[in-house]
Amino acid sequence: MNIFALSTGRGPSGIAIIRLTGKDSLQISKQITKKNNIKSKEVNICKFHDPSSGTVIDEGLLLWSPGPNSYTGEDLAEFHTHGSNAVISCFLRVLGERENCRLAEPGEFTKIAFQNNKIDLLEAESIGDLIHAETDLQRQQAIKLIQGNASNYYNSLREKLIKSLSYIEAKIDFTEEDLPHNILKEVHSSIKQVHKSIKKILEDQKIGEKIRDGFRISILGDVNVGKSSLLNLLSKREAAIVSEQEGTTRDVIETYLNIDGYPVILADTAGIRKAKNKVEKEGIKRAIKKAKDADLILIMVDASKKTINRDLKKLINKDCILVFNKSDLEKKIPKNVFKENNQILISVKKNKNINNLIKTIKLKLSKKFMKTNDILITKERHRIKLEATLKEIEKFLKKDQKKEIETAAEDLRLATRHLGSIVGKVDVEEILGSIFQDFCIGK
Ligand SMILES: Nc1nc2c(ncn2[C@@H]2O[C@H](COP(=O)(O)OP(=O)(O)OP(=O)(O)O)[C@@H](O)[C@H]2O)c(=O)[nH]1
Ligand SMILES: [Mg+2]
């Protein structure tokens, strides 16, 4: 089967790229271009035809990459046409009318690349992440993973496990005399090293996942201090209702933001006060819960009120940023006991000092989370597999390797399998579907 898809976004645009991969793609390209001498490694300038009617669809370029040296590892044609909806629709219809030719499913080109060993599973996932990257931090993380840093590290750990496993299997199969006598000791210490390395990967404060999914920031504060106003200003839209009435916000309102390259999910919450109303009480409960789960809390205070409410004070820890709002009414930060905290005076109404707030948020997040350059986990799937690997290794380490050598070997076998499945060395089929379905069609 040959598959095709529009790889660029839907028009109208200057240029559209339509890809076709499969063993008949050269023959189909010849039919469409009426050229017999299609060249690889150079640009073919062509007229594209509808073979059924003989009419010209468009003029453009054809890039021809014969397999295995192509993105998919199969013969691959890339048609560069004009990007109008009419040209794209006509071209896709014509391709669909060719024999053994169908529209690709989302991510299918990358799936074929993976199946042909052009890339591993981790790299395939990162290509998906790069396509969906919205902030610079997400782009940087995805491109690092595409370049194989993480894959190499996982592969090196897996090789250590395989080597130890092969020693253990040799110990089971051969007599004592044929093997160095301290081999089990060596295996034990090598596996201990692997255990330590995986533990270290797991102690990453979930930074890779946070960069992928967004840092969670909660705005917490007394009623009427301007929490919803701040959310609206930062998200550049009227996401939350703003009013001079106290207790306006009840539900948690979240918006996704790009704060200077940092992906953030910002939550506006109900104002903290002694509420009598049942609905407001529930809102306050949710506000506190949200703040507890957050990566960073912005404690918002009305600078002109001069005091911080008692219930709120209890929720302040040294990681919070204190944001004093309404500097148009009060020019100084009121005296307070929270000396260790970052404190910023802003005015949402007058758009004053907001850049400083953004800078502080960035600094705080980077201080708390960006301690390592080597991000190895970007998805829950990786974490689950690493935890499973660790569990098997721990079982192995607890065993008496002389008396229980056969079951100890099985522990290592399972550990190797779990670790291998991160880069896609085993058990691949079950995870393939879930990974590639998030892609766009044409990639
Ligand atoms: N003077 C002044 N007023 C502001 C400023 N920011 C917000 N306000 C006003 O303060 C009032 C309350 O703003 P909101 O954003 O609704 O406050 P909130 O903290 O979300 O209030 P609740 O949802 O009730 O907890 C509105 O009338 C805003 O226009 C500011 O910087 N200066
Ligand atoms: Mg509000």
Domain ranges in the chain are 2-104, 132-204+377-436, 216-350
Q: Which atom of ligand 1 is nearest to the CA of 224?
A: 21
- What is the predicted pLDDT for the residue at 338? 93
Q: What angle do CA 402, 408, 411 make, to 5 degrees?
A: 170
Ligand 1 atom 5: the closest Cα is on which residue? 349
Distance from C-alpha of 296 to C-alpha of 220, rounded to nearest angstrom: 11
Ligand 1 atom 12: the closest Cα is on which residue? 224
Pocket of ligand 1, candidates 219, 220, 222, 224: which has the most ligand atoms within 8 Å of its Cβ, to mutate? 224
- What is the predicted pLDDT for the residue at 204? 85
Ligand 1 touching residue 283 (CB < 6 A): no
- What is the predicted pLDDT for the residue at 431? 43
Instruction: Using the mean position of ligand 2's atoms as its centre, give its distance from the Cα of residue 76 in Å.
Output: 54
Instruction: Using the mean position of ligand 2's atoms as its centre, give its distance from the Cα of residue 435 in Å.
Output: 38
Instruction: Using the mean position of ligand 1's atoms as its centre, give its distance from the Cα of residue 130 in Å.
Output: 38
- What is the predicted pLDDT for the residue at 429? 47
Look up the CATH number of domain 132-204+377-436.
1.20.120.430
Pocket of ligand 1, candidates 242, 280, 298, 346: which has the most ligand atoms within 8 Å of its Cβ, to mutate? 242
Would you put residue 340 in left (φ > 0), alpha (ψ -120 to 50) or beta? alpha
Contact present, 335 and 312 (Cβ < 8 Å): no
Starting from the CA of residue 272, give the closest ligand.
Answer: 1
**Positions of E strands within 332-384:** 342-345
Distance from C-alpha of 425 to C-alpha of 164, rounded to nearest angstrom: 18
Averaged over successive runs of 10 residues, the pLDDT of the chain (443 residues) comes to: 94 93 97 96 94 96 96 97 96 96 95 94 92 91 88 93 87 70 87 96 89 95 97 95 95 94 95 93 96 96 90 91 96 92 96 96 88 81 96 95 87 93 68 55 68
Ligand 1 touching residue 228 (CB < 6 A): yes
Contact present, 287 and 270 (Cβ < 8 Å): yes
Query: Do the domains spanning 132-204+377-436 and 216-350 agree at the CATH topology level?
Result: no
Ligand 1 touching residue 223 (CB < 6 A): yes
Ligand 1 touching residue 250 (CB < 6 A): no
Q: Give me 184's structure tokens.
A: 């089990």
Q: Give me 26's structure tokens.
A: 């050269």
Contact present, 249 and 268 (Cβ < 8 Å): yes
Q: At 418, which helix (H) or strand (E)?
A: helix 405-423
Residue type, 400: D
- What is the predicted pLDDT for the residue at 127? 92
Ligand 1 atom 9: the closest Cα is on which residue? 226
- What is the predicted pLDDT for the residue at 173? 78
- What is the predicted pLDDT for the residue at 103? 96
Ligand 1 touching residue 352 (CB < 6 A): no
In the 8-state DSSP scheme, what is residue 50?
A: -
Ligand 1 touching residue 2 (CB < 6 A): no
Locus of tokens 């404190």: 343
Distance from C-alpha of 435 to C-alpha of 421, rounded to nearest angstrom: 13
Q: Which atom of ligand 1 is nearest to the CA of 230?
A: 15
Starting from the CA of residue 223, give the closest ligand.
Answer: 1
Pocket of ligand 1, candidates 225, 250, 251, 354: which has the most ligand atoms within 8 Å of its Cβ, to mutate? 225
- What is the predicted pLDDT for the residue at 438? 59
- What is the predicted pLDDT for the residue at 179? 66
Look up the CATH number of domain 216-350.
3.40.50.300
- What is the predicted pLDDT for the residue at 433? 54
Contacts of 43 (CB under 8 A, 6+ apart): 61, 62, 63
What is the 3-state composition of the chain as percent helix, strand, coil, each rounded to the nearest 5? Answer: 45, 20, 35
Fold of 2-104: Gyrase A; domain 2 (3.30.1360)
